[in-house]
Amino acid sequence: MFRVILHLDMDAFYASVEQRDDPALRGRPVIVGAPPSQRGVVCAASYEARRHGVRSAMPSSTAGRLCPEGIFVRPRMDHYREESHRIMSLMAEATAAIEPMSIDEAYLDLSARCQGADADDSLDLSVPVARQLKQRIREERRLTATIGIASNKLLAKIASDHQKPDGLTLVREREKVAFLRPLPVRTLFGVGRVTEQTLAAEGIRTVGDLQDYTGNLRPLVGSFAAKLRQFAFGVDDRPLDFDSPIKSVSGEETFLEDTEDRKILRACLREQARDIAGRLKRERLAAHTVQVKVRYSDFKTLTRQITLEEPLVDSEQIYRMGCFLLGRDKLVSRPLRLLGLGVSGLRESTREQLMLL
């Protein structure tokens, strides 16, 4: 059976929901997050705001300086999750097996539904299905989605990033090597910032450079060498995962003595962030939600979290979000017995995540 995989990614999801619900926001630079006059960060930004350089995880004060005309809207996570459930239901009606990746994206396996004479014929049969799905989302949810279609997850994901917003890109088997050649090597699944720098030192900056490289990749990327070479030629045999075992990654520390010493608490958060980022890197995951947990001497326990539209993977990003949550809600108003840091809303990491400014 020929594989037919779709990757559907909603366009600027949080901000688009806000623009849909409030017609006065349409075409305006919408920034989902705390206002710039308050301590907060950007959870999401519309395309109009992104043109000014506004990005997720950026301090709201910085976003306000970059985009003075920006309209700040408080995030409504329950509302976004409800909208996500409705969109996932529309995907399910396409008679496809679905692997949700986050609140606003998913893989669909149309292999059983779209079978033609050969692989490319099968892929072509999926285009009307994808168009119909996009149309239903537009008409029934008044939102837009971008879809990538290919024979595997790697190519489908890259294709969905190719023509945003409201795009539809099909990568046929006979075209995949040429399609990949001009793209930055960082585009490939599993290539992070460090790997990108290592490859660049060898003159490998594009996927085409990687395709043409005749040397041994193992000294450069270790055991990832064989898989990386396969990815460079558009080969990816990863199945859709319908029961992902990893839902969250976290760590916590109980102090020998209750403390409110900021230096000790920051060092604790930083170490936990490093451990979490290391796990994410090994599993090639990124996280949408960061959570802190505190416990006081009377065993009262509080948790606070924040969810961003663009996922985080870097330890410094996770650490700063943890510090932000502690400060925003004044959780260190008295000595802590325990401090914990965690991430959830996990998805595969395929490209460099934005650093906090």
Number of domains in the chain: 4
Asked if 302 and 331 sit in the same domain, the reply is: yes
* pLDDT value of residue 102: 83
**CATH number of the domain encompassing residue 107:** 3.30.70.270
* Residue 273 within a domain: yes
Residue 230 contacts residue 188 (beta carbons within 8 Å): no
Q: Phi, psi at residue 45, to the nearest 5°?
A: -145, 145
* Residue 243 within a domain: no
* Residue 238 within a domain: no
| Of 177, 193, 220, the domain-final residue | 177
* pLDDT value of residue 252: 85
Q: The tokens of 157 are what?
A: 């994901």
| Of 43, 77, 111, the domain-final residue | 77
* pLDDT value of residue 297: 86
User: pLDDT digits over 172-214, tens only?
Assistant: 999 999 999 999 999 998 888 888 999 999 999 999 999 999 9
| Of 57, 77, 97, the domain-final residue | 77
Asked if 164 and 187 sit in the same domain, the reply is: no
pLDDT of 356 above 50? no
* pLDDT value of residue 354: 32
Share of the chain above pLDDT 90, in %: 71
Asked if 95 and 153 sit in the same domain, the reply is: yes
* pLDDT value of residue 265: 94
* Residue 187 within a domain: yes
* Residue 57 within a domain: yes
Q: With cut-offs at 50, 70 and 90, classify the pLDDT of residue 357.
A: very low
* Residue 240 within a domain: no
* pLDDT value of residue 350: 56
Helix (H) or strand (E) holding 31: strand 30-33
**CATH number of the domain encompassing residue 51:** 3.40.1170.60
pLDDT of 253 above 90? no
* Residue 239 within a domain: no
Report DSSP state, residue 55: -
Asked if 193 and 273 sit in the same domain, the reply is: no
Asked if 104 and 33 sit in the same domain, the reply is: no
Asked if 156 and 193 sit in the same domain, the reply is: no
Q: Is 310 known to be catalytic?
A: no
Q: Which domain holds residue 84?
A: 5-12+79-177
Asked if 84 and 128 sit in the same domain, the reply is: yes
Q: With cut-offs at 50, 70 and 90, classify the pLDDT of residue 243.
A: low
Asked if 253 and 326 sit in the same domain, the reply is: yes
* pLDDT value of residue 245: 54
Which residue among the candidates 105, 173, 196, 348 is catalytic per the annotation? 105
Asked if 83 and 73 sit in the same domain, the reply is: no
* pLDDT value of residue 355: 32
pLDDT of 287 above 80? yes
Report DSSP state, residue 249: E
> Span 72-76, mean pLDDT?
94
User: pLDDT digits over 116-125, tens only?
Assistant: 999 999 999 9
Asked if 83 and 173 sit in the same domain, the reply is: yes
User: pLDDT digits over 95-118, tens only?
Assistant: 678 888 888 999 999 999 999 999
Asked if 42 and 85 sit in the same domain, the reply is: no
> Span 307-336, mean pLDDT?
90
**CATH number of the domain encompassing residue 185:** 1.10.150.20
pLDDT of 351 above 50? no
Residue 331 contacts residue 325 (beta carbons within 8 Å): yes
* Residue 169 within a domain: yes
**CATH number of the domain encompassing residue 286:** 3.30.1490.100
pTM over 0.85: no
Q: Beta 168-170 vs 248-259: how paired, if at all?
A: unpaired
Residue 95 contacts residue 113 (beta carbons within 8 Å): yes
Asked if 261 and 318 sit in the same domain, the reply is: yes
